[in-house]
Chains A and B, each alone.
Chain A
């Protein structure tokens, strides 16, 4: 069984401030972990993925995430927020093997960027 918890359904930051979106996972087997972004009325776009090659993962648009096994966390960060980062962000987990590689999503975090 696997699950994802995203702490904070809404996060607000000032432009230029650090962005931190939290994700904790539960998985009975080694996981793949993903962050997706969804802009209004659009589909989901892959930001980055963890597949056990490196614990610090860099993605698109200046985002990165660090896999911490001891904390079962995969938090998403960006050093300096931009207005264009305003969107909904989803963390997702899938098993390393088997199970159809089904993705289990968190409930999402809406990021607001203020001037």
Chain B
């Protein structure tokens, strides 16, 4: 257990509405990541953070933004949700030994 929680765990929202997903860690790790999982694609990196206020884009960052104002929290925002953003979203932290540990996921449905 890497002490990672995600909220909400499930959300249904309408097209065009803003959505914010939260990832919280209890172990004070520097690196945090947001992935999305879709059938046939595995997990794809959306954004990651390497410290407070330090973030960078991943391979599927369009339509998403992130913020990290505290070490323990990493927020993912969909400014205007679209149906193509229906997915399962996973947050991860990276330990000093380089492996990443994942949260339980958030299932987002955009109708």
Contacts and interface: CB of A to CB of B under 8 A. Distances in A.
A25 interface: no
B22 to A, nearest CB: 16
A46 B58 CA distance: 21
Contacts of A9: 40
Contact of B45 (A32, A44, A103, A107): A103
A43 B105 contact: yes
Interface stretch (A14-22, A65-73, A77-85, A94-102): A94-102
Interface residues of A, number: 23
Instruction: Give the dominant DSSP class at B's interface.
Output: strand
A45 B98 CA distance: 14
B90 to A, nearest CB: 6
A42 interface: yes
B64 interface: no
Nearest to A49: B99
Interface in B90-110: 90, 92, 94, 97-105
A105 B42 contact: yes
Given A44-B43, A105-B43, A100 B101 contact: no
A107 B44 CA distance: 10
B56 A100 contact: yes
Contacts of B56: 100
A90 B99 contact: no
Interface in A35-53: 36, 42-46, 49, 51
Interface of B: 31, 33, 40-45, 48, 50, 56, 58, 90, 92, 94, 97-105
5 contacts: A36-B102, A43-B104, A101-B94, A103-B45, A108-B42
